[in-house]
Amino acid sequence: MSLRHSYTIIAPLYDAFLAAAGTGLRAASLAQLPQQSRQGGLNILISGIGTGLDLPYLPPGHTYTGLDLTAAMLERAKPRIGNLHLNLVRGDSMALPFAGASFDYVVLHLILAIVPDARSCLRETARVLKPGGHVLILDKFLKPGETAWLRRALNLLSQHIVTRLDVIFEEVLEGVPELKMETDVPVLAGGWFRSIRLTKDRPDAE
């Protein structure tokens, strides 16, 4: 089953499973976005916006782009837009339909462990991010060297339906050297879920 097909099917049930469970985590992650900028509003990409569960926690005054693979998810996000300056785009997080260096921030909430190729997703994120820009990540990752035999066994099924359970973030990041770790905070399930902040090197950085 393709990712587009499976998430079209589960779109009506998505909020019931994730809305309450992730509320505090989403709010804490998005609190890292600036409330205002001296240069005016920032351009911020929400890659894998889903049904828009992040939208209530986004500070106003910025220009947002919300991308998702399925029209069903985007339709459910529309009622949450409110007064935000937000444009919804249907597209693939592993092949973003945007020019390079377009965004000041990219938000990746529960997307790196969903896409078939997390490294391609992060590479595309780095490509569209401006030098000095930031990536906010919230997701579940195995630790390097962690056995986690049950999660790995469940992954044989879950990766074809909803999400992957075997992603090791450090291995993903190794393939995107222009992104550097700023913070890495365990937030749930003994550190299985992590809140991570990355920054993109500036051209003159040593």
Task: Report residue 197 as tokens.
Answer: 């902040």
Interval 185-206: pLDDT, tens: 999 867 778 999 999 998 875 4
**Residue 98 has what pLDDT?**
98
**Residue 7 has what pLDDT?**
46
Domain 3-200: CATH superfamily is Vaccinia Virus protein VP39 (3.40.50.150)
- Extents of the domains making up the chain: 3-200
Residues of the chain with pLDDT under 70: 1-23, 37-40, 145-165, 189, 205-206
Interval 41-50: pLDDT, tens: 899 999 999 9
